[in-house]
Structure 1
Amino acid sequence: MTPRVKRVSALIAGAVLLVGCSSTPPRSLVTPLPPVAKHPLPEKPRHAEPMRGIWLATVSRLDWPPVSSVNASRADRISQQQKALTDKLDKLKSVGINTVFFQVKPDGTALWPSQILPWSDTLTGRVGDDPGYDPLQFMLDEAHKRGLRVHAWFNPYRVTTNTKPATLAALSRTVSQHPASVYVLHRDWIRTASDRIVLDPGIPEVRDWITSIVAEVVTRYPVDGVQFDDYFYTETPGSTLDDRQTFSRYGAGFASKADWRRDNTQRLIEQVSRTVKQIKPDVEFGVSPAGVWRNRSHDPAGSDTSGAAAYDEAYADTRRWVQQGLLDYIAPQVYWPFSRTAARYDVLAKWWADVVKPTRTRLYIGVALYKVGEASKIEPDWTIQGGVPELKKQLDLNESVTGISGTILFREDYLNRPQAHDAVNYLRSRWGS
């Protein structure tokens, strides 16, 4: 056993990490992993039908729960939130969706009764407040009842979506709760990037902590899959991640900070992939990265594009994860039309199909439902005949290219937008029963 594996095992076995922010500091709980299966289960057969998925975002209540439910009485809030979710599932079923990617960790909070994370304020308006039911279990029960699969969608490193004093004060108030926010438990892990509070991906204990959160969900819930989104290293020119000290401590032996950062992301993916398969081999693990791995101008193996690249921007070598068999599926966000020269839909989709072809990783293409029907000077195709011709071309390509196993739409609430009316009717006629 390597020193790193020993460290992970020791942490997940129940290490208690303390901070001196109060006289009785809160505990950071880590979910113990079950023993490795003596006889690995056979590989889960590929789904007979293609993926017809949709992302359902809870961060900032983008898709769910209803904003109006937050200030209702406890009973009314539960009723409103649950009805809103079942109404959505009914509509998804009618449209022909077969898989929901449900955001269970939108930031440093949870949508299940976690021993590691406090309750999400998206449910009640206050971090740490018990919503009176288990949203993840409710989603699983109701979706499975309708024949829909559910993948638990995690944002690994984000703690908050802003740096407002009120937001930080709300996290600080969890100091007396169990569990408290990571913001008060581990201030040495906390950084700012993209005008958000994030965790430093270069700290080994941070990666162990994230892995333990995934382990908690996979152990306790009958999820069909686990997915990480594209937020690994996230920076903006005016708000970069200051990880100079972390690099100084852990970056020895790397030619550059960029290579070290990519190795940190690699280690997280390896840990989570191994952990999911150790707990439940039939639970799928996937990632939804930015659509461009690398541009050919930077790497001859890259795509004929000129978009922001996951390898160089998020320090995520997504192509390598596919080649190494770390993922059951990859769902690149190919959010451009056929006419967008910088990143043509067909060019990227076919590039990814070539990447997965010699592997066992399935490829699902993320499609920009949020752009359908929206006016755009640089992408006018989305408004021609309600965006239906462009959507049809993309779905046709996904179904005709060998190596593409389906589509995931971003995101659920856009099914309810007036500008997408024609597109939703088209989807229902194409996918619905």
Structure 2
Amino acid sequence: MGREWHRQTKIIRQVRNTRFMKHWVSTRTGFGSAMGILLGFGLAVGAGAAQVLRTPPPDDDPLIEQRLERAGTPTHPISPVERRAMARELQDLLGRVESALARAEVAQIGSPQALLATGDRLQVARQFLRDLPQAVQTQPPATVRAHWQELRQSLWRDYPRELLTALPEVRAIWLDRGTIVAAGSEAGLRRVFDRMAASGVNTVFVETINAGYPIYPSRVAPQQNPLTRGWDPLAAAVKLARERNMEVHAWMWVFGVGNVRHNRLVGLPANYPGPVLTANPQWANLGQNGALFAAERKTFLDPAHPEVRRYLIALMQEMVTQYGVDGVQLDYIRQPRHDPGQEFGYGRASRAKFQDLTGVDPISITVNDRSLWWLWAEFRARQIDEFVAEASQALRQTKPKVVISAAVFPWESLRRFHRLHQVWERWVARGDIDLLVPMTYVPETSRFVRQHVQPVIEGVGKAPVLVLPGVLIRDMPDLELLDQLQAVRDLPSSGYSLFAAEHLRASFESVLQDNSRSQTDRVVPFRQPFVAARSRFRSLQQEWQNLLSGRSLWLRGPLRDRFQGKVTEIDRLLAKVEQNPTAANLTQAKQQIDELSRSLDVWLRLESLERPYRLDTWKNRLGAITAILRYGAAREERNVRTAQHDRPL
């Protein structure tokens, strides 16, 4: 963990039993004051690092949130807060529909008559927004709410359904263990892959390691999942994916290796710890009270144990070399979820390693030992960080073109640090992973975007990684799925991942089907980032041209010439990057795109007043192109280093 860590932990050993230490700890409550003074290094979890130490909030935001059923239309008065929320949600939905219609026109999808009728309904919705403040004062609340809901339904119906896949993006889905088991054979799995192909999927995260069991006959793991014995689902998945021009990424539970629910499925006692810990009990991640099962009713491995790390990396390498999977997805890449009074991370290796570094057995540390508690929390997070770096390096040495992804929690950074010790900001900053897949499982589009997806994208910053928001499709109406995917496309993301194949209904095919008009539209950004970036920009360029030709974009004279000149220059630079992705060409292209994005507010001032969502979407789409270029640049640098490393002496 570095010389600085060893130097600072030596200081702790020297002062931990002194009165000064006790007085110093008791008078400082924040990480910035305590750890900053003592250790001289900060916790890289964003602005939360300087916050005052506090007990983490209760888990009031579960991974899969249930939709509340509303009985009838409320009749109580509309408060100013509710009115603003209604206006904002309708304004955003208007923007998403307009964005989809603009792309439909570029792709020449939909009849002119239908597009004209939709335009009329958009005008009705805009008028409602203008009248809303007065309507709240003069009309019955139930009438206003009903009209608002009717407009939302009308706008959802106006989406051009054929449009969603006509764009270079990652269209992923999690193929869950339950669906694989239900398939029962290659023939059964073929029907699942046919359904996914009809839904435009190009990347499949196949649940390969679940609760410590591989779905295939492994030479590394103790035993194959009893539910898949008699056939090899991973071999079948790779074969079926190749036939359909899809990628297969092995989705594995990393540190989670036992599951009470899975024990019931295979007829084992609830307290069975899983095959890995049964064979290697010394690898267990334990609670502070010695508990083996965490509050989430799962068992975990100790990430500090060197044998654990070797075992997990060997599993990954086996899937990459023996089955030729295109990528590996890291799930349960964290410590067990901590609930109040149920702290985990006290495996034998972790305790011994921490005590060797600090002279303190962490089993005796309490939250009242503020500096040591923070040091122990940071240590547990570092074990996860170290493993991600080691696994990434080993996989890329084994197969340089392997794609590494991580399914992560989208929680606010400090809460995530306290509850899971999952600091994915470090992984993406180092370039350890290619795809960040936040589990943003929220049905309502506005909450999905504002409270979950946008904070993750902001947390990524300028790291060389592609973001694929997770979309929960369980019980989701077709039109709401369409709305949520449009919202994803209007953000600086590179695609989406659907959870999960178990919930993929036939009716979703009309929303998700592949309507790509050219081979370029089918490009996957993590395979051909520079082709994808230029294709995306040319789509945006055509959209602007259509608006200018129809005089729907207010740009005249010299300002229009400057705008069009900048757009033409960027297209030329992206063509150069596509042909010759040198560092100089990439830097120039990114600089010009950033300059265009900053200039839009000035050049399109009227647009920013009348259609702020559309302007924000254009800037987001430019941001997505820049993110793809940034990822591509990092990948090129990696390829160069690999080539130099492999060059004979």
The TM-score normalised by the length of structure 1 is 0.67
Task: Indicate the structure with greater helix content.
Answer: 2
5+ residue gaps, structure 2: 3-166, 285-291, 359-371, 523-649
**Which residue is 1:102 aligned to?**
206
The alpha-carbon distance between structure 1 residues 240 and 371, as it changes in their structure 2 partners (threshold 3 A), is: farther
The one-letter code sitting in structure 1 at the alignment partner of 2:495 is G
Instruction: Pick from 453, 473, 490 the counterpart of residue 400 of structure 1.
Output: 490
Pick the structure with greater CA Rg: 2
Gap change, CA 1:323 and 1:231, over 3 Å in 2: closer
> Structure 1: which amino acid aligns with 2:440?
V
User: What one-letter code is carried by the residue in structure 2 that aligns with 1:401?
Assistant: L
What do you get for the CA RMSD once the two structures are aligned?
Answer: 3.1
Inter-partner Cα distance in structure 1 for 2:507 and 2:230: 38
Quick one: distance in 1 between partners of 2:193 and 2:170? 16
Aligned equivalents of 1:234 and 1:279: distance in 2?
29
Q: Give, in angstroms, the shift of residue 287 of structure 1.
A: 0.3
Give deviations 1:287-323, integer Å, cap 9, x for gaps: 01012242xxx5xxxxxxxxxx433322110112111
Distance 1:183 1:230 in 2: 16
CA contact (8 A) 1:96 1:431 kept: no
Range moving further from structure 2, 238-247 or 153-162: 238-247
Is residue 504 of structure 2 the alignment partner of residue 415 of structure 1? yes
Q: Does 1:160 align with 2:226?
A: no
Among 382, 385, 391, the residue aligned to 2:481: 391
Q: How does 1:19-418 map to 2 (within 5 A)?
A: 49-58=168-177, 61=178, 63-66=179-182, 80-124=184-228, 131-162=229-260, 167=268, 181-190=275-284, 191-193=292-294, 194-235=296-337, 237=339, 240-241=343-344, 243=346, 245-251=348-354, 252-253=357-358, 255-294=374-413, 298=414, 309-338=415-444, 344-372=448-476, 386=477, 388=479, 390-402=480-492, 404-416=493-505
The residue type equivalent to 2:277 in the other structure is Y
> Per-residue CA shift, 1:320-351, capped at 9, x if unaligned?
211111111111111124566xx542343233
In structure 2, give the amino acid aligned to 1:182.
V
> 1:26 maps to which residue?
none
Whole-angstrom distance in 1 between the partners of 2:271 and 2:187: 28
TM-superposed CA distance for 1:257, in Å, is: 2.2
Answer whether contact 2:338 2:419 (CA < 8 A) is retained. no
Return the alpha-carbon distance in structure 2 between the equivalents of residues 344 and 170 of structure 1. Answer: 36
What do residues 381-403 of structure 1 show as CA deviations (whole Å, max 9, x unaligned)?
xxxxx252x3223211222223x
Q: Secondary structure of the equivalent of 1:226?
A: strand
CA distance in 2, matches of 1:106, 1:91: 23
CA contact under 8 A between 1:158 and 1:197: conserved in structure 2? yes
What letter is aligned with 1:291?
P
SS in 1 for 2:310: helix
CA contact under 8 A between 1:293 and 1:319: conserved in structure 2? no
8 Å Cα contact 1:52/1:98 also seen in 2: yes
Once the two structures are TM-superposed, the CA of residue 279 in structure 1 deviates from its matched residue by 0.5
Kindly provide the CA deviation profile for residues 146-203 of structure 1, in whole angstroms up to 9, marking residues without a partner as x.
111111001012222118696369979x9xxxxxx42333111133223223222232
CA distance in 2, matches of 1:150, 1:429: 18
3-state secondary structure, aligned to 2:303: coil
Check 1:431–1:81 CA distance in 2 against 1; reply closer, same or farther (3 A cut). Answer: farther
Q: 1:282 Cα deviation (Å)?
A: 0.3
- Aligned equivalent of 2:512, options 427, 430, 433: 427
CA contact (8 A) 2:206 2:250 kept: yes
- Given that residues 192 and 239 in structure 1 are in contact (C-alpha distance below 8 angstroms), is that contact kept between their aligned partners in structure 2? no
**C-alpha separation between the residues in 2 aligned to 1:245 and 1:113?**
30
Distance of aligned partners of 1:424 and 1:349 in 2 relative to their CA distance in 1, 3 Å threshold: same
TM superposition shift of 1:371: 4.5
* Gap runs ≥5 in structure 1: 3-47, 70-79, 125-130, 175-180, 299-308, 373-385
Counterpart of 1:43 in structure 2 is none
AA in 1 matched with 2:465: T
Q: Distance in 2 between matches of 1:56 and 1:161?
A: 19
Aligned length: 326
- CA deviations over 1:187-237 (Å, ceiling 9, x no partner): 111332232232222323212221121122112222111101245212353
Measure, in 2, the Cα distance between the counterparts of 1:197 and 1:114. 21
Distance 2:309 2:474 in 1: 32
CA distance in 2, matches of 1:146, 1:328: 23
Alpha-carbon spacing, 1:423–1:197, altered in 2? closer, same or farther (3 Å): same
Change (3 A) 1:257 1:395: same
**2:181 aligned partner, one-letter code:** P
* Change in 2 beyond 3 A, CA 1:201/1:90: same
Instruction: Determine the C-alpha separation between the residues in 2 that align with 1:209 and 1:408.
Output: 28
